[in-house]
């Protein structure tokens, strides 16, 4: 059996989305699982719509996903070969030049039509089994606009053969193209590769992908702070599973487990909520050092961040953020209190679960200072909670508004924010001296 060769053949006529790159991932996994090769072909023959920015983005996205190809081709570089075989078909009367009227213009132009032999064409799809089509109804279809302008059906047949492609993995929207390509292969005496047509990817509402549901450029996910291995993992499970209950697999595990016969026939759903969950899982698998190194790529260099305090905050960032972009926002948002003194508002200190009475809040906060002194340096949030909760649960506190009489002003005194980590975690990270200092400042604005 020949060595497996698969290809990813994008057209640089727009930014490619998750559905496009899922094809690349499956082609890559199939090739690597079988010990074969994965190649890239830029199909840039549509000169009117192809743009360099789209092509550059394809290279960027593939590099970020680490989908390395053994060889790279440009379809526009094969014009001489395409012309040679078009002329061969015409010379053998297997194709012919036809002058046809241009729509709405009244002019006539020449195209090259394939002389369709008609009849039934069958092929065995690796996912869907045997598919049979009567090609008679297709008539003599166009294979080139001129000898230097082959259309898709003809160009891919020639390129796949010349590049040694043995397996064509592509979307199910290409099923109808396959019979045309097979009869062209036969006319040129070329081998027919094996085909595997993947299920379409839909939005959660089962409509075509939109910009809000996966139809954004893959590099957008990079810029939002997703891990490439997380997106690779997620794309691998769109229409495929390893046959067990695993859902988080490394690249090597995916290569080992990938079996194209396990690709489902039904449409797959691109769910960004699930993608975020997968990304968070892989973020949490990082060591603290690797997490911080990757996160710093997303932090504004002008933002002054204490590295020691940042190290203490890693567990919070891992727990609360689903992307490194979110982690960055947390540093200037709900976790900003770890790196700068909070700005307190007198009314907010007494606004929650309490009568609006500053003196009661003062008593509640003063009652925490002595217990804080007993905490060892580096006390865990659990140890802090064991120390603070007896004060919050005390009968005196209940008379003044319950636990909220203590915990809310404590949280606000430490963070200056409506939404922040719990006060036990804050004290653990800030340390007892800094925490006591912030509590005293809160008391000072109330007296």
Which sign does the torsion angle of CA 434, 436, 439, 444 carry?
negative
Question: What is the band of 405 on the pLDDT scale with cuts at 50, 70, 90?
Answer: confident
Give me the mean pLDDT over the 172-187 stretch.
97
The tens digit of pLDDT for each residue in 53-104 reads 999 999 999 999 999 999 999 999 999 999 999 999 999 999 999 988 766 6
322, 236, 290, 332 alpha-carbon torsion, rounded to 10°: -20
- Helix H, strand E, coil C: the string for 122-187 is EEEECCCEEEEEEHHHHCCCEEEEECCEECHHHHHHHHHHHCCCCEEEEEHHHHHHHHHHHHHHHH
CA angle in degrees (0–180, nearest 5) for 24-30-34: 145
Residue 45: per-residue pLDDT: 86
Give me the mean pLDDT over the 2-10 stretch.
95
CA angle in degrees (0–180, nearest 5) for 243-235-28: 85
- Report helix, strand or coil for 269: strand
The tens digit of pLDDT for each residue in 123-167 reads 999 999 999 999 999 999 999 999 999 999 999 999 999 999 999
Residue 347: per-residue pLDDT: 84
| Distance (Å, whole) CA 107 – CA 19 | 39
Contact indicator for 294, 286 with CB cutoff of 8 Å: yes
Give me the mean pLDDT over the 400-410 stretch.
80
pLDDT at residue 399 is higher than 70: no
pLDDT at residue 262 is higher than 70: yes
pLDDT at residue 301 is higher than 80: no
Give me the mean pLDDT over the 372-397 stretch.
86
Question: What is the band of 175 on the pLDDT scale with cuts at 50, 70, 90?
Answer: very high
Residue 101: per-residue pLDDT: 74
pLDDT above 90 as % of the chain: 74
pLDDT at residue 327 is higher than 60: yes
Specify which of 44-58, 229-243, 328-342 reaches the highest per-range mean pLDDT. Answer: 229-243
pLDDT at residue 395 is higher than 90: no
Which sign does the torsion angle of CA 349, 351, 356, 361 carry?
negative
| Distance (Å, whole) CA 207 – CA 137 | 30
Residue 119: per-residue pLDDT: 97
Query: b/e string for 153-184 if b means 16 or more Cβ within 10 A?
Result: bbbbbbbbbebebbbbbbebebbeebbbbbbb
pLDDT at residue 189 is higher than 60: yes
The tens digit of pLDDT for each residue in 338-360 reads 989 999 988 888 766 555 567 88
Range with lowest mean pLDDT among 109-123, 200-214, 265-279: 200-214
Residue 104: per-residue pLDDT: 62
Residue 403: per-residue pLDDT: 80
Residue 90: per-residue pLDDT: 98
Q: Give phi and psi for 159, each to the nearest 5.
A: -65, -45
Contact indicator for 358, 444 with CB cutoff of 8 Å: no
What is the model's pTM? 0.89
| Distance (Å, whole) CA 398 – CA 353 | 11
pLDDT at residue 297 is higher than 90: no
Task: Tell me the residue ranges of DSSP E strands in 177-259.
Answer: 194-198, 201-202
Give me the mean pLDDT over the 392-400 stretch.
65
Give me the mean pLDDT over the 367-374 stretch.
92
Better pLDDT: 307 or 322: 322
pLDDT at residue 118 is higher than 70: yes
pLDDT at residue 269 is higher than 70: yes
Residue 227: per-residue pLDDT: 97
Residue 128: per-residue pLDDT: 95
Residue 443: per-residue pLDDT: 94
Better pLDDT: 397 or 153: 153
């Amino acid at each position: 059996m020949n060595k497996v060769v698969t290809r990813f053949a994008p057209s640089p006529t727009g930014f490619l989305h998750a559905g496009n790159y899922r094809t690349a991932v499956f082609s890559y996994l199939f090739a690597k699982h079988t010990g074969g090769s994965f190649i890239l072909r830029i199909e840039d023959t549509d000169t009117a719509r192809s743009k360099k920015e789209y092509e550059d983005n394809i290279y960027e996205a593939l590099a970020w996903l680490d989908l390395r190809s053994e060889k790279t081709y440009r379809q526009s570089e094969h014009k001489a070969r395409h012309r040679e075989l078009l002329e061969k078909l015409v010379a053998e009367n297997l194709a012919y030049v036809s002058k046809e009227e241009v729509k709405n213009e009244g002019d006539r132009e020449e195209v090259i039509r394939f002389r369709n032999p008609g009849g039934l064409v069958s092929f065995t799809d690796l996912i869907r089994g045997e598919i049979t089509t009567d090609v008679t109804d297709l008539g003599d279809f166009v294979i080139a606009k001129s000898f230097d302008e082959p259309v898709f059906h003809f160009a891919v047949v020639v390129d796949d053969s010349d590049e040694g492609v043995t397996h064509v993995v592509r979307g199910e929207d290409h099923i109808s193209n396959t019979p045309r390509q097979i009869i062209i292969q036969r006319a040129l005496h070329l081998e027919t590769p094996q085909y595997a047509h993947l299920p379409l990817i839909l939005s959660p509402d089962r409509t075509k992908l939109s910009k809000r549901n996966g139809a954004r450029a893959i590099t957008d996910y990079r810029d939002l702070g997703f891990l490439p291995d997380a997106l690779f993992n997620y794309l691998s499970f769109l229409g495929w599973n390893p046959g067990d209950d695993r859902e988080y697999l490394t690249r090597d595990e995916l290569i080992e487990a990938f079996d194209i016969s396990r690709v489902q026939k039904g449409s797959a759903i691109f769910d960004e909520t699930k993608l975020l969950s997968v990304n968070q899982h892989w973020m949490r698998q990082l060591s603290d050092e690797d997490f911080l190194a990757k996160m710093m790529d997303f932090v504004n260099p002008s933002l002054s961040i204490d590295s020691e305090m940042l190290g203490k905050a890693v567990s919070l960032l891992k727990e609360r953020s689903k992307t490194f972009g979110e982690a960055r926002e947390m540093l200037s948002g709900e976790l900003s209190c770890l790196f700068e003194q909070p700005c307190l508002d007198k009314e907010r200190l007494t606004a929650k679960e309490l009568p609006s009475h500053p003196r009661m809040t003062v008593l509640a906060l003063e009652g925490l200072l002595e217990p804080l002194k007993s905490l060892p340096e580096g006390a865990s949030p659990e140890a802090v909670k064991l120390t603070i909760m007896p004060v919050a649960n005390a009968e005196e506190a209940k008379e003044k508004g319950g636990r909220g009489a203590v915990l809310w002003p404590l949280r606000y005194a430490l963070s200056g924010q409506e939404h922040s980590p719990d006060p036990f975690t804050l004290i653990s990270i800030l340390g007892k001296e800094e925490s006591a200092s912030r509590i005293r400042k809160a008391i000072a604005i109330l007296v």
